[in-house]
Amino acid sequence: MRVLILGGDGYLGWPTAMSLAAKGHDVYVIDNYLRRNIAQQTSSEALIPTPNLNDRAEIFSSLTNLNIEVEIGDVADYRVLSNTVAKVKPEVVIHYAEQPSAPYSMMGFAEAAQTFNNNLSATFNLIWALMEHAPDCHMVKLGTMGEYGTPNIDIEEGWLDIEHKGRKDKFLYPRAAGSLYHTTKVLDTDLLWFYVRTYGLRVTDLMQGPVYGLSTEESDQDERLLPNFHYDDIFGTAVNRFLVQAVAGVPLTVYGKGGQVRGYLNLRDTLQCVELAMETPAAKGELRILNQFTETFSVNKLADSVQRVGNQLGLNVQVQSIDNPRKELEDHYYNPAHSGLMELGLKPHYMTDDVVAKMLEQVIKYKDQIDPRKIMPRVRWKQ
């Protein structure tokens, strides 16, 4: 298939590009280096320096003889995206092109405005570029489980049948996210649903949980192909922060009570999920929503796991609760459905002790590059 990947330089974009190219697809990627720029501006550089996107594609090509076409451009500019879609005529677009940091989106006006404008414009422009140049193209959009927040009822996959005063209807599952970044994805979903039902677009919206994993099959060939690994407070997840803290001999910083439960998945499973979505496109006029994670656990359970495995590897891992910089429930009900991707054929890689050990061993290789100043939260939700 002809595949266009928006945000092809990202933690997910680049591994997706390599994986799909390896499977024989024609892959075209576009990225404006927004994450790289923000990382520099906020002193949040990744642990392992990665070559730029053109260089990565060249390295990949020299190893595999497979071509990934690269464009450096801003999809928030309609002329850029429209030209690219007209030229590539994709059968699938995978839309990763959003500013993904919740803390960055909560820093102040400038960062909030940049997140808001970038994320909404990227989605708005993609809708219109497809309507103009590729109306049958299947859009695979990355949403987030964070759109739902932590409601007191079961989270279904995107939609909810509601019975009210003896009458029934089906609605988008009500959303209430915990950061501006997550809220931009709520707005994306509302916007997509309007255009999908009005003009018959085909969209799969993947509500993804936090992804972990430092490598994929393709990146195993050459460390210059590794995904970006962020452990900082801006782009780093709790998983990455704990791995780095364990290796650096810094106590694992649990935000507040640590009862925050989320649905996690392995980077290799993200690649599977996106491919499964591509293979069975949404119908015209269908907004198919799938919850994309393989298991749920709390921050405390995650910290326990990193501590246990770290100590087995001879590290001396401590855990410490710190004041929560975010505004979120620290002890809550959480029961999200996630059968859709399993039914499509997803074979999960769970976060076993073995997987945690392999991640720790990979971080240990780069121990000297850890900058402890990057780890502690610098952005607070409460003003």
The torsion angles phi and psi of 62, rounded to 5 degrees, stand at -65, -30
Catalytic annotation present for 366: no
| Per-residue x/- track, 29-68, a copy of itself (CB under 8 A) | ----------------------------------------
Q: Does 165 bind a copy of itself (CB under 8 A)?
A: yes
Catalytic annotation present for 144: yes
Q: Does 220 bind a copy of itself (CB under 8 A)?
A: no
Q: Do the bridges between strand 92-95 and strand 167-172 make them parallel or antiparallel, or are there none, so unpaired?
A: unpaired
Rounded to whole angstroms, how far apart are CA atoms 6 and 210? 19
Among 331, 181, 164, 172, smallest CA distance to 257 is for: 331
Of the candidate residues 33, 59, 67, 116, the single one contacting a copy of itself (CB under 8 A): 116
Please report how close the Cβ of residue 344 comes to a copy of itself at its closest, in angstroms: 24
Rounded-to-10 torsion of CA 372, 349, 277, 70:
40
Please report how close the Cβ of residue 103 comes to a copy of itself at its closest, in angstroms: 13
Q: Does 79 bind a copy of itself (CB under 8 A)?
A: no
Of the candidate residues 194, 284, 285, 342, the single one contacting a copy of itself (CB under 8 A): 194
Give 109 or 347: the residue with its C-beta nearer to a copy of itself.
Answer: 109
Stretch of 167-175, 279-287, 344-352, 360-368 lying at the interface with a copy of itself (CB under 8 A): 167-175
Helix residue ranges per DSSP H, the chain: 13-22, 34-41, 53-64, 78-88, 102-105, 109-133, 180-199, 238-248, 267-279, 299-312, 340-344, 353-365
Rounded to whole angstroms, how far apart are CA atoms 187 and 346? 28
Written as six digits, the tokens of 267 are 């980077």
Give 187 or 344: the residue with its C-beta nearer to a copy of itself.
Answer: 187
Q: Does 383 bind a copy of itself (CB under 8 A)?
A: yes
Q: Does 171 bind a copy of itself (CB under 8 A)?
A: yes
Which amino acid type is present at position 37? Answer: N
Is there a contact between 268 and 357 (Cβ–Cβ < 8 Å)?
no
Catalytic annotation present for 185: yes
What SS3 class is residue 73? Answer: coil
Please report how close the Cβ of residue 300 comes to a copy of itself at its closest, in angstroms: 23
Of the candidate residues 40, 49, 87, 154, the single one contacting a copy of itself (CB under 8 A): 154
Options 181, 212, 231, 264, the catalytic residue: 181
Number of residues that bind a copy of itself (CB under 8 A): 43
Rounded to whole angstroms, how far apart are CA atoms 309 and 352? 10
Please report how close the Cβ of residue 194 comes to a copy of itself at its closest, in angstroms: 4
Rounded to whole angstroms, how far apart are CA atoms 125 and 79? 9
Give 129 or 140: the residue with its C-beta nearer to a copy of itself.
Answer: 129
**Rg (the chain; Cα; Å):** 20
- Residue identified by tokens 């074979």 is 347
Options 144, 150, 183, 253, the catalytic residue: 144
Written as six digits, the tokens of 115 are 């997140």
Stretch of 148-156, 220-228, 295-303, 347-355 lying at the interface with a copy of itself (CB under 8 A): 148-156
Q: Does 284 bind a copy of itself (CB under 8 A)?
A: no
Burial status of residue 153 (CB atoms within 10 A of its CB: 0-12, 13-18, 19 or more): exposed
Burial status of residue 128 (CB atoms within 10 A of its CB: 0-12, 13-18, 19 or more): middle
| Per-residue x/- track, 330-349, a copy of itself (CB under 8 A) | ---x----------------
Q: Does 323 bind a copy of itself (CB under 8 A)?
A: no
Strand partners, 282: none
Interface contacts to a copy of itself, rule CB under 8 A: 78, 109, 112-113, 116, 120, 124, 128, 131-132, 151-154, 160, 162-165, 167-169, 171-172, 174-177, 180, 183, 186-187, 190-191, 193-194, 197-199, 327, 333, 381, 383
Q: Which residues are catalytic?
A: 144, 181, 185
